[in-house]
Chain A
Amino acid sequence: MLPETLTRLWADLPNAAQDTVTFVALLLPAVLIGIWVLRGLAPGALITSMLRRYAAVNLVFTGLVAVSVALGVGLIAQERGLRQGSARAADKFDLIVTAPGSEITAMLAAVYLQPTDLPLLNGAQYAEIAGAEGVTFAAPLAFGDSWQGHPVVGTTTDFITHLSGASVQGRMFADHEEAVVGALVPLGIGDEVVPTHGAVETMDEEDDHGHHDIHYKVVGKLPATGSPWDRAILVPVEIVWELHGLANGHTPETAEQLGPPFAPENFPGTPAILVKPEKLFQAYALRTEFSRADMMAFFPGAVLSQLHGLASDVREAMSLLTVVSQILVAAAILAGLVLITRLFARNLAVLRALGAAPRFLLAVVWSYAATLLTLGTVVGFGLGIGAAAVLSRILTARTSVQISATPGWSELHLAAAFLSLSLICALLPGLLAMRRPPLADLRA
C-alpha cells in the first residue's frame, strides 16, 4: 500500500525534480561520510601540506581519476547529443513517401540531404498522394545542383513554410529565379547564386559539371532548424526540373505556375514526397495506405527510433564497459590511495604520538583522498563535457546536423555515483592508517 503510494508520488514528480532528488541521493553517501568522518575535527592544514608534499603524485592521481570520469561523462553526453540532434533534424518530416527500397537510404536523402540515387515516383503516384484524404500538403523534391558545396533543393513553399515555422526573414520565393536560403548559407537577401550542376549526384543526366545558365536571386532566409536543410538553397521544384531538360510539372497553359497542383503527364518524377498529414491518426492511415508494392511510406522518427534501438545494444555494451572500467578505476584508486598513504606513514605516526586519536588519522587520510577524488571528478566532468562539445562541433560541421553535447542529468548522476563510491572506498586506506600501530612507523 505504502510502496504503491510512494511509487505513484515519485512518478507524479516533474522530471527535473526526479533528477534532482536522484542526484542528491547519489551524492548523499559522500556528504554523510564526510560529516561523520570530520565531525569535530579540522585537518585542513595537514591536507594542504600533504597535497604540496607529493604534488606530482597527487597530480597524476587526480589526472587518472579525471580521465576515467571524463570517458564516462563524455560518452553519455555525446550519445545523447547525437540522438537528440538527429531526432531534432527529423522533427518536421512527418511522413515520407518514396519508391520501395531502403527506408534508411530514403531518410538519409530526404531528411539529411545525403546524395543518393533513389528511384523516382511518377506523376500519377504524386497525384494520388497529394489528393489523398487527410493530406495537408505533399511536397516533391528535386536534387542535382549545388553552390559551393551547398545543395540546391527544389521543393514547394508549403514545405518550406512548414520547415521554417512560418518565420522566414524576407519572403518566400514567388518566381522561377528566386531562392530561399537556409540559416547556414553564407548569402543574404538580394545576393545572386549561380548553381553548379552536379556535386550532389542525383538525377544526373548531363555529362559536364558546368554552371547552369541561371542566376537565382535570394529573397528569403530561413531560421536555423538544426538540420542539414540549414545549409541548403531552396528553389521552386519546377526550375530544377527545367534546368535538367525535363518537363516542369505543369501544362503549357499553366507553365508559369509554382507549386501544386501538378499535371501528372508533365511530372518528371521525384525521389521523395514529404507529406504533412492533417491529424496524427491520419498519418498512420496514410502510412498504411501508401505502404504497398509500388511505393513505401514511413515516419523518419520511427526509423530513427529503430536505429537508436539497434544502437542501444551497442550503447548498453558501452555502458557496461564504462561501469566495468569505473570499477577497475575504483580498485586502482584504492590501491593508489593505500600506497600514497604509506608515503605519509611517518607523519601520521607523529600525529598519533602527539596525541591525535586514531579517528583523526581516518579523517586526515579520508579528506586527503576525498580532495583528490573530488578534484578529479569535477575536472573529469568538465573534461568529458568539453571533449563531447568539441566532438559535437566536428560532427555538426561534417553532417550539418546540429549536435550539441550539453551537460545532462545522466552525466551528473554518473559523476555523483562515482564520487560517492570512491569516497566510500577511500574509507579503507583511512581505516588501515587508523589501525596501524604508530610505533612501527615512528621508529622507521
Chain B
Amino acid sequence: MTSALSLSLRDVRVTAPSGRMLLDLPFLSLPAGQSLAIRGPSGAGKSTLLHVLAGLQPVQRGEVLWDGTDLARLTETQLSTFRRLHIGQIFQDFLLFDELPALENAAVARLFAPRSARDSILQRADHWLTTLGIDPRDPRRVATYSGGERQRIAVARALAQNPAVLLADEPTASLDRATADQLTDDLIAAAQTTGLSLICVTHDEALSRRLNRVLTLSDGTPEAAHAA
C-alpha cells in the first residue's frame, strides 16, 4: 500500500460565499495510521471538514498538510491525482453507480487510473469485495443490493484505491443497528490490516468509541479534542 500519511492542519478557515463562517479550526493533527471520529450536531461543519481534508473544499485561510503536501497549494488536477493516490472516501448514501455490477463499482478507479495501475485496482477490488462478503462475480447491478451490501461495496471501492487515508461521512447512518455494527467491525479491521488512517464523521457511539481520537465540532469550531 501507499505509506500512511500524517495529518497536520493549521489555522483553517472556510467561509460560505455569503461570508458565513463554516469552519474555523486552529489546529488538528493525526499521526499516520491513527483513527479519528468527528462528532457534532447537524450543520456543525463535519462534512465540510472532511471535504477540506479531501481537497474538495477550498479553504480561505490556513494550511492542510498531508505529510508536508499542502492541499491549498495544489491545482485541481494535482488535487485529483492526490485523491486518487491517497484518499479513499465513503459517503452516507453510498453514491454507487446503480447500473453497474459490484466489481465494476468497486474497481471504478480503474477507468481513470493510469494503465499501469489498472490491474492492481481490479485485484484489490476483487479482494476487498470477497473479504467483505460480496461475490465479485455476481453480475447483478448494485441497485438490487441491500443498503448494508451497498455500503460494503462502497468500502471496497475506497480500499481498492489502496488509500493512505479513509474518509467516511456517516457511513453507518443509513443502516440498521446490526448492519451498522457489522460495517464498523469491517472498517476497523480493514484499517488495521492496511495501516491506513481512518477519519469518520459519525453520530454512532459504537463506532466513535473504537477510534483513537474524537473531535467534536459545534458551529464550525472544536469543542474539545482529546485522546480516547
Q: Could you list which residues of chain A lie within 8 angstroms of chain B, going by C-beta atoms?
A: 40-46, 48-50, 52-53, 346-347, 350-360, 438-439, 442-443
Contact = CB atoms under 8 A, between A and B. Distances in A.
Contact of B87 (A40, A49, A346, A355): A355
A353 B111 contact: no
Contacts of A439: 51, 56-57
B111 A46 contact: yes
Q: Identify whether the interface residues of B are mostly helix, strand, loop, or mixed.
A: helix
B80 A355 contact: yes
B100 A359 contact: no
Contacts of A351: 108, 112
B98 A53 contact: yes
Interface string B73-112: 0001100111111010101000101111000100011111
Given A49-B97, A49-B100, A350-B95, A355 B161 contact: yes
B114 interface: yes
Contacts of A50: 99
A52 B57 contact: no
Contact of A42 (B87, B97, B111): B111
Nearest to A355: B84
B85 to A, nearest CB: 7
Contact of A356 (B51, B100, B112): B112
A45 B100 contact: yes
A439 B52 CA distance: 10
Interface of B: 47, 51, 54, 56-57, 76-77, 80-85, 87, 89, 91, 95, 97-100, 104, 108-112, 114-115, 157, 161
Chain B CB within 10 Å — which of A347, A357, A359, A443 has the most?
A357
Contacts of B115: 40
Contacts of A46: 97, 100, 108, 111
B95 A358 contact: no
A2 to B, nearest CB: 42
A46 B112 CA distance: 11
A45 B87 CA distance: 23
Nearest to B78: A357
A41 B57 contact: no
A46 B105 CA distance: 10
A358 B80 contact: yes
29 contacts: A40-B114, A40-B115, A45-B108, A46-B97, A46-B100, A46-B108, A49-B99, A49-B100, A52-B99, A53-B98, A351-B108, A352-B56, A352-B80, A353-B54, A353-B89, A354-B84, A354-B89, A354-B108, A354-B109, A355-B81, A355-B84, A355-B109, A355-B112, A357-B80, A358-B76, A358-B80, A439-B56, A442-B91, A442-B95
Contacts of A43: 111-112
B56 A353 contact: yes
B126 to A, nearest CB: 15
Contacts of A359: 77
Given A46-B108, A356-B111, 15 more contacts: A42-B110, A44-B111, A46-B100, A50-B99, A53-B99, A347-B95, A353-B83, A354-B157, A355-B80, A355-B87, A355-B161, A357-B81, A358-B80, A438-B56, A439-B57
A48 B89 CA distance: 24
B144 to A, nearest CB: 13
Chain A CB within 10 Å — which of B77, B97, B108, B110 has the most?
B97
A443 B80 contact: no
A346 B96 CA distance: 10
A431 B173 CA distance: 35
Nearest to A45: B104
A443 B47 contact: yes
B46 to A, nearest CB: 12
Contacts of B114: 40
Nearest to B93: A346
Contacts of A354: 83-84, 89, 108-109, 157, 161
B111 A358 contact: no
A354 B159 CA distance: 11
B122 to A, nearest CB: 12
Contacts of A48: 99-100
Nearest to A357: B80
Contact of B112 (A41, A52, A53, A442): A41
A162 to B, nearest CB: 67
B9 to A, nearest CB: 18
A442 B94 CA distance: 11
Pairs of residues from A and B, 5 with the lowest C-beta to C-beta distance, nearest first:
A355-B84, A355-B83, A356-B112, A49-B99, A360-B112
Chain B CB within 10 Å — which of A41, A346, A354, A359 has the most?
A354
Contacts of B108: 45-46, 351, 354
A99 B95 CA distance: 84
Nearest to B115: A40
Contacts of B112: 41, 43, 351, 355-357, 360
B166 to A, nearest CB: 12
Contacts of A355: 80-85, 87, 109, 112, 161
A53 B104 CA distance: 15
A120 B221 CA distance: 108
B10 to A, nearest CB: 22
Contacts of B91: 350, 442
Contacts of B109: 354-356
A42 B115 CA distance: 9
A423 to B, nearest CB: 21
Chain B CB within 10 Å — which of A40, A353, A359, A360 has the most?
A353
A40 B83 CA distance: 19
A350 B88 CA distance: 12
B81 to A, nearest CB: 7
A166 B112 CA distance: 69
A423 B89 CA distance: 34
Chain B CB within 10 Å — which of A40, A45, A346, A359 has the most?
A45
